[in-house]
Each structure stands twice: as structure tokens, then as C-alpha cells.
């Protein structure tokens, strides 16, 4: 048994980075009207579905509290739980590997695949392998990875990047999907239409050959149960079930935060997850496996337990609840920013509200442009409301903004306009007397506004405001002065 | 009751009428309103922009101004600023390792109410026309601001009050629960996304045919109003307090 030393927070690597400041990426994506139409349609549909099934449960809020409590407890005892899981998984014939970061995980998986002699693997949809860039790594090692989840397949065939954690091709509509299939799918029927059933059929016959031929499958996991050493995958299409049962070797890559204390915990999460993610009462396929079962399913069963910045996130006492995330995607589906910019604007494998906190928590706020992610929110709180494990995303966003400002304080040579605004604001708003003094200048603003009582253009960073909004003419007199004149003098 | 008015900086400086309206409503109900002069701002802009150490003096000032025995409850015509006082102040104190300040922040937060919260939960107002004499003979729509709706869980308190104003016609706003895109410095840091959100809000408001969009937060209303004004749209914005203060004798005009 190789033991990882928990409590040494190293930053995460792999696909966790925003490569340009979010506002810049957002500006570009906002111009993609087709994407915005597709996304608006998709997010609004799933929002309504979720609200309907969540509304059916009178104890929904209690369930959320339970989910949150179980996760908090699991994270507080993660070291013991992982060791317990390792013991039980190993006792049932599975092999446990520990990976500090993305490159270690990639190396472990590559060696395991090479040991089978296979140069092809089938894949179950998995966020962890996206995060570490496994497919790309395997390719450089001469191993071809085939995504079997329909949406992942669309992304892979289209040489695209996922833009959503549950529906990676959410930014594409079905006509675009048909075009990708026609262009990229070997042996596709050239008369293929964009009917969903036909598209699924095309994917099915394309994949069936792979399922039957592949000797190695790679998956992620939605949870690992410490008390039994069981792994679980929750899915909709059944392709996951094929990958998990047909091949000889099964390699699972899982973030360490997915560990749960006990089997009974599934009771809570199997209610929370399907309703929050696809808006269904129950998902069609739930596969659970515990090590190796003789003559049934894969006989070589491995798990790679991945840290890649998770311990780092865990060490942040104001941010650690981000690790409670069960990857349901409800937060991005309800997010007004995500709805308009799409997932690519966030750079990282994890887009939307959860990505805006998780990526910087895992990599450190100073990494690349991840410091711009926590600002990608109006703090409307829709994500917190929707989150099945009650992660207070707005609160963590604000916390990380604080980390970002503190990190930049030391490195800035010259103060930015924002710094000056905030320092001046701190003085002005730090005393009733000071704001009162400034308010004496209100008539000046009236002068600026002129006859039609509107300010249409402001200088510097405030120009962002007047890009789409007028500023009303200020009043002649503040309330404070009115109060002194009218109420106090009487 | 002796009620301390927390005017909020934006209302104090930009929308003094809304603070006067708040005073009027409360005085009409026979309460005494005081205005703690040391108050300035809740510090939300600093906190939400990540400038925690700059936020500290602002937050301390608020707590000092309101941590007194001079009043029974405090009220602000803003869900956002009240949410900041109740939730952000204790958190900031905790983050900066100030347990004593945190305790005082919690105490002030407990006594601070958003206007509709105070009117409905504490003062038992269920019919604005009957109990406040509110009268506003025009068609409005209503945007529930995010922090009131989600952080304070105001539910339909504001809307229900508006619906009971004499002479009023309330048209329901499509996608009302969607953020208007303001978000403080979000509107300048992420101006493009913010503008895209505002555009949809403006469209939805115009689709109701209302003369005004009402709300409980002056900052969101300034944002929405700025967008309406820029696009040359007809509807204006109006604060809940101004509509409730409007009477048959002294009717607010748009
Ligand atoms: S943060 Fe919450 S809502 Fe978002 S994906 Fe994770 S569990 Fe779901």
C-alpha cells in the first residue's frame, strides 16, 4: 500500500485553468448567437423539469440538509474514510492507486492500459478524466480512447471541448450534431436526419462494435462507499453499464472527495442527484460494483484516487464546502451568467458557478487567469438555491474575491482604478460625516446630467456602466441634509 | 415603536425621496423614526469586490452607529443592504478574526429589517390601501431583487403589499426571478454579461405594458432604470416605499 500524505496542499494541474480573463472570454462567447440560442433553450427546459420534480418532494429541503451534513462529515474524516475504502476495495480483489496530481494519474492509467496490451479503451463519461486530460495523454502514448456517452461522443467527434458537466455538448443543437456525425462518424448513414431517435441510433451502432471489441474500460465514479468498498456510477444511457461490465479490465479515476461513509448514504444522494441533474425522479441506470466478482464482469479492477488540488481546497476553511459538490449541474443550469456565456468561457473542465469556485480553490487563485473566475457572477444566489447539497456558492465567490485582492495587493506596482475607488470609498463610506461632506457635491452631478437629466457617459472603469445604462441626475440635496433641515431644526 | 432608519448610501445620496417615503409610511402608522447620523453604508460594495480590509471601517462604522439602545428596530428600504448587515457583517468579522465585532454584528443584524419584512412581519400590514392609505392609480410590474428574494427569503411580501395598494394594477413580470444583471461592481467588471442580462430584463418589463417597474432595492432599480432610459423605453422605475407612501391626496407621479 502506498500512502499519500494528506494535508500537504499541492495545487491542481490539468484542465483547470482559465486561459484569458473571464470578461474577455465572455465577450467572445456572447457574440455566438447560435450557441446562446441553444443554451437558453436547453437551460430553461431543464430548469423547469428540475423545479417540477423537486416540488414533488415535501422533504426536499431536509434532504438537502442531510446531503450537506453527510458531505461535511465525510470531508472532515476523509483520511480515515479513504483508508477504510482502500482496505475494503482491496479485500474484494480491487487494486487501489493514489495519484497526487493529473500527471501522476495519467501515468498510472497509461501503465495499466499498456500492461493489458490493448491500444484502445472505451470510456464512461467522467469529469475526473476530463480534468486530468486523460484522452489527450493516452493519445500521445499511442492509445485511442473512445467516449461512449452520447454527448461526450459528439464533443469528441467534433474536436470540441465540453461546455457543461452533465451535457458536454449542450452548446450544440441537433442539426449541428447531425452535421458532426455526417462528417466525422465512420460508416454513418449519409441520409441521417436530425431526429433525436435517429441520432441516438447512429451513435448506438457506431459504439456497439467498440463495446464488444474493447478489453479495457475507463470510468469515473459518482461515489465510493467506505464501509463496503463499493463504487457507483449514475447515468442515463446504459453505455456506462456496457463499459462497466463487458471489458476484462476496468480502471476508475475518482476524485478523493467522492468518498462517502456508508451504503445507507446512497438513500439521500440517490434522491438528490437525479432530480437535481436531469430533472428525473430516478435515473435509468445505476451501476454499483465492489471489487472483482468471479466469472462476472471485469476481472482486473483498479481505482486511481486523485487529489490534484482537492486537499488544497480542503485546507481553505471558507471554501472547502465546494468539495461537497455531487456534480449534478443544477447550479449552471440556473445561472444567468452561464446561460449567456456558455461553459467554454470558464476555461476549466468545471464551468458555471461551481467551476468559478472549484477551479481557483484547486489551483490557487494566482494560477493563470483563475483569479477572474470568482467575479463571473452577479451574486444573484440562484445557484445556492438550486444546489442539492446547499453549497453557499455566492459566499465562497466573495471569499475568493478577497483572496484574489489580497494576492494582488503585494504584486501591484501601481494601484488600479478599482483600488483607488475602493480606498476612496472606504474613507467616504466609513463615516457619516464623510459621506455627508461628499454629498454636498450632488448639485455638480446635476450639472453634468444637464437638461435631460441623464448622464450618458462616464470615464474610466465606470464607462462599463454607461455602456448600456444611463445614470439619473442626482438630487439637489441628500436625505441626510433634508433630515437636518426639516426634521432636526423643527 | 422607535424605529431607526438605515437609509443606505445610495438612497441617501441618489434617491432621498425613497427614504422620505419610508419615514412617511412609518409615521403614518404612529411610529417614531430616528436617523442615526453616524451611519453611512453597509460596506457591501467593498465586501463583494473582495476589498475586505477596506470594508472593515465601513462595517465597523455601521455597527457603531446601530449598536445602541436608542431604538427598537432598524429598517432599510433595501433587501440587499439588510442581507449584508445580517449575513456579511458577521462573516467579515469572522474572516478578519474579530469575535467581539462578530457578536455585535449579529445583534445589530437581528434588529434590522427590510421594509416589507418590518411592515408585514412586525407591524402586521396586510392591506396597504386600508392600513397605510396607499393609492397609486397606474399599471406597474414588479421585479423581486435577488438578495431580498433569496438571502432574506422575502417571498411575496413586497408583491402582496403592492397588490393591495388602492387603484393599482399589477402585471406579473415574465421571468421575474431572473437577476437584472446589476451585482454591484459586476456591472462594470463584467459589463458585457451584465448588459446581456439587463437587456432581457428590460424586454420583459416592456412586454407587460406597465408604466413602471417597482422593486425593493434602489440599486437594482437604478440599474434597470438606466437600461430603460438608454433604450428609450417608456416604463420608469419606482421604489416600493414610494408607491406605499403615495396617497389619494399626495399621489406620486412618474
Ligand atoms: S455545486 Fe451544487 S448545484 Fe452545482 S453541480 Fe455541485 S452539487 Fe450540483
Q: Where are the alpha helices (DSSP H) in A163-253?
A: 174-184, 196-213, 239-245
Which residue of B9, B150, B190 is in closest CB contact with A375?
B190
Asked whether residue B15 is assigned to any structural domain, the reply reads yes
Nearest to B219 by CA among B85, B28, B41: B41
B20 contacts on A by Cβ (under 8 Å): 479, 482
Which residue of A426, A470, A480 is in closest CB contact with B230?
A470
**Residue A122 in contact with ligand 1 by CB distance below 6 A:** no
Q: Is A286 on the interface with B (CB under 8 A)?
A: no
Q: Are residues B20 and B100 in the same domain?
A: yes
Q: pLDDT tens digits, residue range A389-437?
A: 999 999 999 999 999 999 998 777 557 889 889 999 999 999 999 999 9
Q: What is the pTM of this model?
A: 0.96
Could A431 and B61 be called an inter-chain contact, meaning their C-beta atoms sit closer than 8 Å?
yes
Question: Within its chain, how far is the Cα of A367 from the centroid?
Answer: 17
Asked whether residue B184 is assigned to any structural domain, the reply reads yes
Cα A250 from Cα A149, distance rounded (Å): 16
Asked whether residue B10 is assigned to any structural domain, the reply reads yes
- In chain A, the residue whose alpha carbon lies closest to the alpha carbon of B16 is A479
Q: Are residues B135 and B229 in the same domain?
A: yes
Q: Are residues B9 and B93 in the same domain?
A: yes
Choose one of B57, B90, B122: the last residue of a domain.
B122
**Residue A387 in contact with ligand 1 by CB distance below 6 A:** yes
Which atom in ligand 1 lies closest to the alpha carbon of residue A358?
A: 1
Could A474 and B13 be called an inter-chain contact, meaning their C-beta atoms sit closer than 8 Å?
yes
Q: Which residue, among A356, A420, A429, would best test binding to B if mutated, counting the most B CBs under 10 Å from its CB? A: A429
B68-87 as b/e: b if 16+ CB within 10 A = eeebebbbbbbbbbbbbbbb
SS3 state of residue A398 = helix
Considering all CA atoms of chain B, what is the largest pairwise distance in Å, rounded to the nearest integer?
A: 53
Place of cell 411610529: B31
- A340 pLDDT above the threshold of 90: yes
Q: Are residues B118 and B132 in the same domain?
A: no
Strands B112-114 and A454-455: unpaired
Asked whether residue B158 is assigned to any structural domain, the reply reads yes
Q: What residues contact residue A288 under an 8 Å CB cut-off, 6+ apart?
A: A230, A231, A232
The residues facing A416 across adjacent strands are none
Q: pLDDT tens digits, residue range A189-215?
A: 999 999 999 999 999 999 988 888 999
Q: Whose CA is nearest to atom 8 of ligand 1?
A: A328
- A246 pLDDT above the threshold of 70: yes
Geometric angle at alpha carbon A92, from A90 and A95, rounded to 5°: 35
**Alpha-carbon distance B154 to nearest alpha carbon in chain A (angstroms):** 14
Asked whether residue B252 is assigned to any structural domain, the reply reads no
Question: Within its chain, how far is the Cα of A260 from the centroid?
Answer: 20
Asked whether residue B250 is assigned to any structural domain, the reply reads no
Q: Whose CA is nearest to atom 6 of ligand 1?
A: A325
Choose one of B122, B151, B173: the last residue of a domain.
B122
Q: Are residues B154 and B184 in the same domain?
A: yes
Q: Whose CA is nearest to atom 2 of ligand 1?
A: A387
Cα B253 from Cα B136, distance rounded (Å): 9
Residue A414's pLDDT is 58
Cα A459 from Cα A464, distance rounded (Å): 9
**Alpha-carbon distance A273 to nearest alpha carbon in chain B (angstroms):** 22
Report residue A216: phi and psi, to 5°: -130, 135
Q: Are residues B118 and B146 in the same domain?
A: no
Span A55-60, average pLDDT = 97
Distance in Å, CA A406 to ligand 1 centroid: 27
Q: pLDDT tens digits, residue range A365-379?
A: 999 999 999 999 999
- A1 pLDDT above the threshold of 50: no
Q: Are residues B117 and B135 in the same domain?
A: no
Choose one of B122, B147, B182: the last residue of a domain.
B122
Cα A18 from Cα A365, distance rounded (Å): 11
Cα A40 from Cα A34, distance rounded (Å): 10
Cell of A243: 463499459
**Alpha-carbon distance B7 to nearest alpha carbon in chain A (angstroms):** 8
Q: At B155, which CATH number?
A: 3.40.50
Asked whether residue B149 is assigned to any structural domain, the reply reads yes
Number of domains chain B contains: 2
Asked whether residue B134 is assigned to any structural domain, the reply reads yes
Q: Which domains does chain A have, with CATH numbers?
A: 22-311 (3.40.50.10420), 417-489 (no CATH)
Across chain A, mean pLDDT equals 94
The domain containing residue B87 runs over which residues? 2-122
Q: Are residues B162 and B113 in the same domain?
A: no
Cα A320 from Cα A298, distance rounded (Å): 35
Q: Rounded to 5, what percent of chain A is helix, strand, coil?
A: 55, 10, 35
Could A469 and B150 be called an inter-chain contact, meaning their C-beta atoms sit closer than 8 Å?
no
Geometric angle at alpha carbon A364, from A361 and A366, rounded to 5°: 135
Q: pLDDT tens digits, residue range A142-153?
A: 999 999 999 999
Place of cell 449542450: A170
Q: pLDDT tens digits, residue range A78-131?
A: 999 999 999 999 999 999 999 999 999 999 999 999 999 999 999 999 999 999
Q: Are residues B81 and B150 in the same domain?
A: no
Distance in Å, CA B143 to ligand 1 centroid: 26
**Alpha-carbon distance A30 to nearest alpha carbon in chain B (angstroms):** 8
Amino acid at each position: 500500500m502506498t500512502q499519500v500524505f494528506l494535508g500537504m496542499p499541492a495545487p491542481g494541474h490539468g484542465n483547470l485553468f482559465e486561459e484569458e480573463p473571464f470578461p474577455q472570454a465572455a465577450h467572445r462567447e456572447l457574440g455566438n448567437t447560435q450557441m446562446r440560442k441553444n443554451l437558453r433553450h436547453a437551460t430553461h427546459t431543464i430548469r423547469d423539469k428540475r423545479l417540477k420534480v423537486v416540488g414533488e418532494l415535501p422533504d426536499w429541503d431536509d434532504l438537502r440538509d442531510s446531503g450537506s451534513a453527510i458531505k461535511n462529515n465525510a470531508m472532515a474524516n476523509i483520511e480515515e474514510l479513504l483508508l477504510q475504502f482502500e482496505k475494503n476495495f482491496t479485500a474484494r480483489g480491487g487494486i487501489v492507486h493514489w495519484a497526487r496530481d493529473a500527471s501522476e494519474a495519467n501515468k498510472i492509467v497509461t501503465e495499466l492500459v499498456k500492461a493489458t496490451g490493448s491500444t484502445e479503451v472505451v470510456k464512461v463519461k467522467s469529469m475526473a478524466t476530463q480534468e486530468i486530460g486523460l484522452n489527450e495523454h493516452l493519445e500521445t502514448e499511442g492509445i485511442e480512447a473512445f467516449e461512449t456517452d452520447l454527448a461526450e461522443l459528439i464533443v469528441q467527434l467534433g474536436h470540441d471541448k465540453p461546455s457543461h458537466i452533465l451535457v458536454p455538448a449542450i452548446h450544440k443543437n441537433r442539426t449541428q450534431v447531425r452535421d458532426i456525425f455526417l462528417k466525422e462518424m465512420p460508416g454513418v448513414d449519409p441520409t441521417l436526419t436530425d431526429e433525436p431517435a435517429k441520432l441516438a441510433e447512429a451513435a448506438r451502432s457506431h459504439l456497439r462494435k467498440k463495446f464488444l471489441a474493447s478489453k479495457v474500460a475507463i470510468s469515473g465514479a459518482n461515489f465510493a462507499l467506505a464501509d463496503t468498498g463499493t463504487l457507483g456510477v449514475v447515468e442515463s444511457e446504459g453505455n456506462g453499464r456496457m463499459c462497466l461490465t463487458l471489458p476484462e479490465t476496468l480502471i476508475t479515476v475518482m476524485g478523493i472527495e467522492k468518498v462517502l461513509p456508508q451504503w445507507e448514504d446512497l438513500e439521500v444522494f440517490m434522491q438528490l442527484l437525479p432530480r437535481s441533474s436531469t430533472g428525473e425522479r430516478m435515473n435509468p441506470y445505476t451501476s454499483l460494483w465492489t471489487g472483482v466478482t468471479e466469472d462476472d464482469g471485469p476481472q482486473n479492477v483498479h481505482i486511481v484516487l486523485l487529489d490534484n488540488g482537492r486537499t488544497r481546497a480542503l485546507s481553505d476553511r471558507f471554501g472547502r464546502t465546494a468539495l461537497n459538490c455531487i456534480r449534478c449541474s443544477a447550479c449552471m443550469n440556473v445561472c444567468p451568467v452561464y446561460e449567456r456565456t456558455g461553459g467554454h468561457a470558464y476555461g476549466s473542465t468545471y464551468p458555471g458557478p461551481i467551476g468559478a469556485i472549484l477551479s481557483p480553490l484547486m489551483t490557487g487563485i494566482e494560477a493563470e487567469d483563475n483569479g477572474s473566475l470568482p467575479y463571473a457572477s452577479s451574486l444573484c444566489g440562484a445557484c445556492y438555491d438550486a444546489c442539492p447539497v446547499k453549497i453557499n456558492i455566492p459566499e465562497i465567490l466573495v471569499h475568493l474575491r478577497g483572496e484574489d485582492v489580497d494576492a494582488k495587493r503585494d504584486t501591484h506596482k501601481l494601484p488600479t482604478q478599482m483600488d483607488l475607488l475602493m480606498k476612496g470609498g472606504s474613507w467616504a463610506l466609513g463615516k457619516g460625516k464623510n459621506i455627508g461632506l461628499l454629498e454636498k457635491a450632488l448639485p455638480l452631478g446635476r450639472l453634468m446630467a444637464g437638461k435631460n437629466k441623464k448622464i450618458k457617459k462616464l470615464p474610466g472603469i465606470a464607462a462599463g456602466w454607461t455602456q448600456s445604462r444611463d445614470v439619473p441626475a442626482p438630487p439637489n440635496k441628500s436625505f441626510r441634509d433634508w433630515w437636518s433641515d426639516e426634521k432636526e431644526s423643527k | 415603536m422607535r424605529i431607526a432608519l438605515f437609509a443606505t448610501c445610495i438612497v441617501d445620496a441618489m434617491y432621498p425621496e425613497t427614504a422620505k417615503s419610508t419615514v412617511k409610511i412609518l409615521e403614518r402608522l404612529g411610529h417614531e423614526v430616528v436617523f442615526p447620523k453616524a451611519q453611512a453604508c453597509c460596506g457591501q460594495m467593498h465586501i463583494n469586490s473582495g476589498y475586505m480590509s477596506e470594508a472593515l471601517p465601513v462595517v465597523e462604522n455601521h455597527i457603531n452607529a446601530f449598536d445602541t439602545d436608542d431604538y427598537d428596530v432598524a429598517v432599510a428600504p433595501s433587501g440587499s443592504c439588510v442581507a449584508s448587515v445580517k449575513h456579511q457583517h458577521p462573516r467579515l468579522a469572522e474572516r478578519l478574526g474579530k469575535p467581539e465585532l462578530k457578536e455585535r454584528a449579529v445583534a445589530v443584524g437581528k434588529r434590522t429589517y427590510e421594509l416589507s419584512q418590518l411592515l408585514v412581519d412586525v407591524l402586521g400590514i396586510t392591506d396597504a390601501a386600508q392600513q397605510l392609505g396607499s393609492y397609486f392609480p397606474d399599471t406597474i410590474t414588479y421585479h423581486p431583487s435577488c438578495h431580498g428574494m433569496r438571502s432574506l427569503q422575502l417571498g411575496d411580501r413586497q408583491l402582496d403589499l403592492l397588490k393591495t395598494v388602492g387603484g393599482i394594477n399589477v402585471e406579473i413580470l415574465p421571468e421575474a426571478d431572473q437577476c437584472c444583471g446589476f451585482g454591484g461592481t459586476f456591472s462594470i467588471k463584467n459589463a458585457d454579461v451584465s448588459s446581456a442580462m439587463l437587456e432581457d430584463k428590460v424586454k420583459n418589463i416592456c412586454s407587460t405594458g406597465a408604466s413602471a417597474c417597482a422593486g425593493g432595492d434602489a440599486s437594482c432599480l437604478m440599474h434597470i432604470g438606466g437600461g430603460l432610459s438608454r433604450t428609450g423605453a417608456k416604463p420608469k422605475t419606482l421604489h416600493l416605499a414610494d408607491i406605499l407612501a403615495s396617497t389619494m391626496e399626495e399621489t406620486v407621479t412618474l
